[in-house]
Copies of this chain bind each other. A is one copy, B any other.
Amino acid sequence: MNFMQIAIEEAKAAAALDEVPVGAVVVWNGEVIAKAHNRVEEFYDPTAHAEMLAIQQACEKLGAPRIPECEIYVTLEPCPMCCAAISFARIKRLYYGASDSKSGGIHSFSHSSCHHKPEVYDGINASESAELLKSFFLAKR
């Protein structure tokens, strides 16, 4: 299974728990060292986005608050909070699926307040991730 597919499985797990279906995976040396999905409602924590939880896990595993050799795979374009966290963690590469024109944060990497910009690759398995989100929000109406 490729890394984005693992992130998509995480997103599906989120949907099953009635959380916004977004998943994230952190890879180090070609190995998954952290994976997570949104847990905002479960944890009563507005910061518990998939990316944040995966970064925290990865940093704990590697014993450092900066993990410059890591890559992150996220099913949806990260929000500005998660983009800042990716930047603070010095993550090397960001791969994401669907774009988020309403709440996405990729623009923030270009702001002068951002001091580390990862390489960014978009559109990875985008339709599957977008479909998950669409079904989730349709069911909510």
Q: How far is the CB of A131 from chain B (nearest CB, A)?
A: 22
Q: How far is the CB of A108 from chain B (nearest CB, A)?
A: 6
- Chain A contact patch, size range: 35 or more
Beyond A84-B84, A108-B108, whether A79 also contacts B113 by CB under 8 A is: yes
Beyond A46-B85, A52-B47, whether A107 also contacts B111 by CB under 8 A is: yes
Interface residues of A in 83-108 (CB under 8 A from B): 83-85, 88-89, 102-105, 107-108
Beyond A80-B80, A113-B79, whether A45 also contacts B41 by CB under 8 A is: no
Query: Which residues of A approach B to under 8 Å, CB–CB?
Result: 40-41, 43-48, 52, 55-56, 59-60, 62-66, 79-81, 83-85, 88-89, 102-105, 107-108, 111, 113-115
